[in-house]
């Protein structure tokens, strides 16, 4: 059995300013740095982490860096764990997207599991790469507790997969706040959710 602790990165400066970024770099905000410190402290207190993986984006890596530094562990980056690719929408404000892409934004906002942004990827593609990589990691790290630095779409798409829900239902999955975590077990074949969107360590640190 492999235990995954999957963390959504702390608030980024893009989150703070209202820009939409997926696979684009966006550093942690001051609040995001505090959220990263809080989740790292909670993880160090609550789990015995054996290995750390992350999306290559700095906001994810820096959210789990506190655990890596405390345990003297490397952060292994995997491109498959990155956030959704928003294509031509990357780096634009929500208002700019609404004004420049007809009714695409409203379609995406109302059904994110189905709608594909201009030049971006589908949620099916994201889900496929994430599930494949996590199964690979789970088998390679069998018996260990694995910390993962990642993103909201990754976590929500994974929840749909685990619960056997079509991505058309992703719009109904609970949002996961910055700095929250999911605890998921993997038995070599199947995933089992133990915690989802846990944010008890973020007292007074919500966005």
Question: Domain containing 68 — which CATH number?
Answer: 3.40.50.1240
Answer whether residue 205 is part of any domain: no
Answer whether residue 9 is part of any domain: yes
36-51 pLDDT, tens digit per residue, is 999 999 999 999 999 9
Answer whether residue 120 is part of any domain: yes
Find out whether 67 and 6 touch, Cβ atoms under 8 Å.
Answer: no
- Give me the domain span that covers residue 120: 2-198
Answer whether residue 69 is part of any domain: yes
Answer whether residue 42 is part of any domain: yes
59-117 pLDDT, tens digit per residue, is 999 999 999 999 999 999 999 999 999 999 999 998 898 888 877 888 888 888 988 98
- 20: Cβ contacts below 8 Å, ≥ 6 apart: 14, 86, 89, 90, 91, 92, 93, 94, 97
Residue 183's pLDDT is 98
> What does the block give as tokens for 98?
């609404």
What is the distance, to the nearest Å, from the Cα of residue 118 to the centroid of all Cα atoms in its chain? 22
% of the chain surpassing 70 pLDDT: 100
Number of domains in the chain: 1
Answer whether residue 114 is part of any domain: yes
Residue 122's pLDDT is 94
Answer whether residue 174 is part of any domain: yes
Q: What is the pTM of this model?
A: 0.95
Q: Number of helices (H) and strands (E) in the chain: give both, helices first.
A: 7, 8
Answer whether residue 84 is part of any domain: yes
């Amino acid at each position: 059995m492999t235990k995954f602790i999957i963390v959504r990165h702390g608030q980024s400066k893009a989150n703070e300013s209202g820009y939409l970024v997926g696979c684009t770099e966006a550093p942690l905000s001051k609040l995001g740095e505090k959220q990263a410190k809080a989740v790292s402290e909670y993880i160090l207190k609550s789990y015995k982490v054996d290995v750390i993986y992350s999306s290559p984006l700095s906001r994810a890596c820096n959210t789990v860096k506190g655990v890596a530094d405390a345990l003297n562990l490397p952060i292994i980056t995997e491109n498959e764990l990155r956030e959704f690719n928003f294509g031509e929408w990357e780096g634009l404000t929500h208002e700019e997207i609404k004004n420049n892409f007809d009714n695409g934004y409203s379609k995406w906002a109302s059904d994110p599991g189905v709608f594909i942004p201009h030049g971006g990827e589908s949620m099916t593609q994201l889900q496929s790469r994430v599930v494949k990589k996590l199964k690979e990691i789970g088998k390679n790290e069998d018996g260990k507790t694995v910390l993962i630095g990642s993103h909201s779409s990754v976590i929500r798409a994974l929840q749909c997969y685990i619960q056997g829900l079509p991505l058309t239902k992703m719009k109904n999955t609970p949002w996961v706040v910055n700095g929250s975590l999911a605890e998921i077990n993997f038995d070599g074949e199947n995933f089992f959710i133990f915690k989802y969107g846990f944010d008890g360590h973020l007292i007074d640190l919500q966005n």
